[in-house]
């Protein structure tokens, strides 16, 4: 039995998130159907994380097992022919038997894209969140650094979060402007449900004067969701990178 590791990119606008569901079409279902059709066997994949409805991925990772001897490059070409145009396999590797896309993940990086303009742009529909008020990206970049470190982020997740441990480590948080687009890039050991969207919403509220500059350490310490900023819309969010220990994978790129 072979254990294969795939990386995908997808536009999540047409899907009800990553995880397979009984009453909605998801990215996982589309990928499993494409792989099963190509390989001639029932395929179940293990994804690196969940993404919500409307959320995208520049790098989503999964593992699955197969008896098929198809080479990695052949799998990439073959399954891409069977997938919808808004999902693409970018890479395929053969990995050790025990390697798991989720349990061996050491961290993730998320990107949130804001279209900062009073006028809408149809080409950013479903791929960026529009914010009409001016954004001082340099100010928000300085404010975002307060998130870096190991903290209890109970105040930066949805109210019905079911995780007992809400401590996470943030490695970096940068805010950069590129024309009308403002990019919020945050990496960490892991993230709670809606955590990135709430952190971005909090920074935008600081920029608008709805929250005070320098308030983030106090918001973290308070552990109270009602004090932080809004949960921004899903369409601006991208799973951007996933981190693994390359030595543990013992791989060479094969696709």
Q: Does 249 have pLDDT greater than 80?
A: no
- How much is the pLDDT for 248? 57
Report pTM. Answer: 0.93
Are 214 and 140 in contact by the 8 Å Cβ rule? The answer is no
Please tell me the predicted confidence (pLDDT) of residue 251. Answer: 41
DSSP-assigned letter for residue 158: -
62 or 158, which is more confident = 62
Cα–Cα distances in angstroms (integers) from residue 206 to residues 30, 195, 229, in the given order:
39, 17, 8
| 217-241 residue pLDDT tens | 999 999 999 999 999 999 999 999 9
- Of 170, 168, 218, 196, the closest CA to residue 52 belongs to 196
How many Cβ atoms sit within 10 Å of the Cβ of residue 65? 14
Catalytic residue among 52, 86, 136, 141: 52
Spelled out in words, what is the top-level CATH class assigned to the domain 2-104? alpha beta
> Mean pLDDT in the chain?
94
pLDDT at 247: 58
Using one digit for the tens of pLDDT, what is the confidence trace for 78-119? 999 999 999 999 999 999 999 999 999 999 999 999 999 999
Closest of 165, 139, 134 to residue 152, by C-alpha: 165
The residue to which tokens 């109270």 are assigned? 224
> In this predicted model, what pLDDT tens digit does every residue of 40-56 receive, in sequence order?
999 999 999 999 999 99
- Give the pLDDT score at 161: 66
- Pull the structure tokens for residue 64: 């699955």
Mean pLDDT value of segment 178-204: 97
Domain assignments of the chain as residue spans, ordered by start? 2-104, 107-240
Using CA of residue 150, residue 152, residue 154, residue 156, what is the dihedral sign? Answer: negative
2-104 shares its CATH topology with 107-240:
yes
Pick the CATH number of 107-240 from 3.30.70.660, 3.60.10.10, 1.10.357.10, 3.10.20.30: 3.30.70.660
Residue 167 confidence class, pLDDT cut points 50, 70, 90: very high
Nearest to 172 by CA among 117, 113, 107, 115: 107
- Residue bearing tokens 């098929």: 68
Cα–Cα distance measured from residue 141 to residue 180, given in angstroms and rounded to the nearest whole number: 16
User: Does 8 have pLDDT greater than 90?
Assistant: yes
In this predicted structure, what is the pLDDT of residue 254? 34
- Residue 250, pLDDT > 60, answer no
- What mean pLDDT is predicted for residues 118-125? 95
* Residue 122: burial class (beta carbons within 10 Å; 0-12, 13-18, 19+): exposed
Active site residue 52: yes
């Amino acid at each position: 039995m072979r254990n294969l590791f795939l990386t995908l990119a997808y536009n999540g606008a047409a899907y009800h998130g990553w995880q397979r569901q009984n009453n909605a079409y998801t990215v996982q279902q589309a990928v499993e159907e494409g792989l099963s059709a190509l390989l001639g066997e029932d395929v179940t994949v293990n994804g690196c994380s969940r993404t919500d409805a409307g959320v995208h991925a520049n790098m989503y990772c999964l593992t699955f097992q197969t008896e098929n001897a198809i080479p990695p490059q052949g799998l990439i070409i073959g399954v891409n022919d069977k997938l919808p145009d808004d999902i693409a396999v970018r890479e395929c590797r053969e990995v050790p038997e025990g390697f798991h896309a989720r349990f061996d993940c050491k961290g993730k990086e998320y990107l949130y894209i804001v279209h900062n303009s009073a006028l809408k742009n149809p080409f950013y529909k479903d791929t960026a969140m529009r914010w009409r008020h001016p954004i001082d990206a340099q100010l928000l970049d300085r404010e975002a650094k307060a998130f870096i470190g190991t903290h209890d982020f109970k105040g930066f997740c949805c109210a019905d979060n079911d995780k007992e441990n809400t401590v996470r480590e943030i490695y970096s948080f940068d805010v950069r402007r590129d024309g009308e687009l403002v990019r919020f890039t945050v990496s960490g050991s892991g993230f709670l449900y809606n955590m990135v969207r709430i952190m971005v919403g909090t920074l935008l509220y600081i920029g608008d004067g709805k929250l005070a500059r320098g308030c983030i350490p106090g918001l973290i310490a308070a552990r109270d969701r009602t004090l932080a900023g809004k949960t921004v819309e899903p369409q601006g969010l991208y799973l951007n990178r996933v981190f693994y220990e390359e030595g543990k994978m013992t791989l060479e790129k094969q696709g």
